[in-house]
Structure 1
Amino acid sequence: AHITFSMVFVTTIVHSRLSEADVAVEEAAMDLGSRPWQVMKDVTLPIISPAILSGWLLAFTISLDDVVITSFTTGPGNTTLPLLIWSKVKLGVTPDINALATITVSVVGVGVIIAGFLMNAAERRKERDAQLAYQSNL
């Protein structure tokens, strides 16, 4: 149920990135002899990887928030993280819930920081390549 519910968000983000992607790059790779799977691995996936990462982060965050959907779709004996947190919070906040919340916020924060660094590095690389291309044309 979480996958079905979260797929909408991930699909929207990845679709918007794919619509902005330049098809000429993939066509050039195929003209140079790459097979379709190789084009997907070497060209398309690096282009859409930031969108996949942001879609995963959004789906993870939304999945933690949807306790109601989880409670309706889990069977007996299955306890997911949101249900565990909800059941423990109903009894009172304990130090293990505080530790779990700290870990969750830290993991998401580190993921966002890493994504920021990767996006900045890609932008700097793109600007450097554009400068080199401009200088080589002079």
Structure 2
Amino acid sequence: MDLGLTPLQAFFKVTLPLIAPGIISGALLAFVLSLDDFVITQFTAGVGATTLPLRIYSMVKFGVSPEINALSTLMLLVTVLIAGSAELSRIKGAAKQG
């Protein structure tokens, strides 16, 4: 025990809240880079592995369809929701600190 907490409690009450912004930032960066870096994704994707940007690119070859518009809108919506929730969590954390 350290200061009245077990190691597991100390991790969840102290360590995890301190590293959460870094974990969230890293996840958002990885997500955005996977959407943006199409060429690298295309060359490094394994056989049978199709990411959403690769799928949309292969569908665009045959013309823009409503399905492509819907997928692009969903990708944009997910990105905005994740970024918005990260910003809200940052604001709430700043308000708690004073």
Q: Per the shorter chain, which TM-score range?
A: 0.7 to 0.9
Q: Residues 75 and 126 of structure 1: is their aligned pair in 2 closer, same or farther, counting only changes over 3 Å?
A: closer
CA 1:35 to 1:78, structure 2 compared with 1: closer, same or farther past 3 Å? Answer: same
Which residue in the other structure is 1:104 paired with?
Answer: 75
Q: 1:76 to 1:121 in 2, by over 3 A?
A: closer
Moved over 6 A (4+): none
TM-score by length of 1: 0.61
Identity across matched positions, percent: 48
Q: Quick check: which has more Rg, 1 or 2?
A: 1
The whole-number CA distance in structure 1 between the counterparts of 2:83 and 2:67 is 24
Q: Which residue of 2 aligns with 1:93?
A: 64
Q: How far apart, in 1, do the equivalents of 2:64 and 2:32 lie?
A: 21
* TM-score for the superposition, normalised by structure 2: 0.82
1: CA distance between counterparts of 2:26 and 2:37? 16
In structure 2, the residue matched to 1:71 is 42
Q: 2: distance between equivalents of 1:121 and 1:88?
A: 41
CA distance in 2, matches of 1:57, 1:91: 31
Structure (1/2) with the larger helix percentage:
1
Contiguous gaps of at least 5 residues in structure 2: none
Structure 1 alignment gaps of length 5 or more: 1-28, 128-138
Residue 30 (structure 2) aligns with: 59
8 Å CA contact retained: 1:67, 1:86: no
